[in-house]
A = this chain, B = another copy of it.
Amino acid sequence: MRNLKITMAYDGSNFLGWQQQKIGRTVEGEILKALQFMHNQPLGLHAAGRTDTGVHASGQVINFVSNLDGIPLQRYARAFNSFLPLDIRAKYVEEKPESFHARYHARERSYKYYILSSELHQPHYRFYCHRVVHKPSLTALNRLARAFVGTHDFSTFSSPSEQNPNPERTVYNASFAIEGPFLVFHVVAQSFLWRMVRSMVGSLLTFEQESISIEELKAKINAKDRTQAGPTAPATGLYLHQVRYKDEHLVY
């Protein structure tokens, strides 16, 4: 018996989000199906984060206890992938102590949000980024984004959720950079509220156009008032990028 930590990537376009449900194709549902086929019995799993419909992952982390001790670790990903649909892939497999829990032990989660600033439609990218027609200033966006760093009540920039009664979160880093044709928002926190990243990005894009000052943005955060936020950016641009654990080196 091994407690396996697996780093997963998936294309969220054709899933009704992460969480298994009775009806509809979900990432967790497909992974559980693959695990059951592979192990000849139903298995449970833990995941670092739940992603919404249309949200992607390049570094989701799951763990589960596998009794297939005959498969060498370096071949496990390939074996697992042979049971998974092509829009979900296992990237790395590691063995962890029995106590390891992908959700409870996650120390840092980071998301990336891909923005394409283009007047032209790019059909290849339509499920993989958020297209805006204006050209935002990278400097202005980065100046605004810094207001999110630190410990704040993020009620303004999240959707209310029964599962998360405490709206306080600590953001370690929030910044924009250029990656190929994309403007990319990268945000790191221990954990996030529901729709928090999409609300942050959508608001920043709007506030930059409206030339809102850092002081005004800070006032919006302090207002703890959902109506003070800008529009929530669409799911297509969002990727669960990386999850880090206690024993790992932290890099921003």
Find the B residue at minimum CB distance from A86: B126
Interface membership of A91, Cβ < 8 A: yes
A121 / chain B contacts, CB cutoff of 8 Å: 9, 81, 89-91
Interface membership of A10, Cβ < 8 A: yes
Is B11 within 8 A of A56, CB to CB? no
Is B122 within 8 A of A9, CB to CB? yes
Interface of A is mostly: mixed
Interface membership of A16, Cβ < 8 A: no
Task: Report the Cα distance A90→B91, complex, angstroms.
Answer: 37
Partner of A180, one of B122, B123, B179: B179
Closest Cβ–Cβ distance, residue A160 to chain B (whole Å) = 31
Task: Report the Cα distance A81→B87, complex, angstroms.
Answer: 28
A126 / chain B contacts, CB cutoff of 8 Å: 11, 86-87
Known: A179-B180, A180-B180. A9 touches B56 (CB 8 A): no
Interface membership of A88, Cβ < 8 A: yes
A10 / chain B contacts, CB cutoff of 8 Å: 123
A249 / chain B contacts, CB cutoff of 8 Å: none
A181 / chain B contacts, CB cutoff of 8 Å: 180
Interface 0/1 of A71-108, CB less than 8 Å to B: 00000000001000011111100000000000000000
Most buried by B among A56, A86, A120, A126: A120
Task: Report the Cα distance A62→B80, complex, angstroms.
Answer: 45
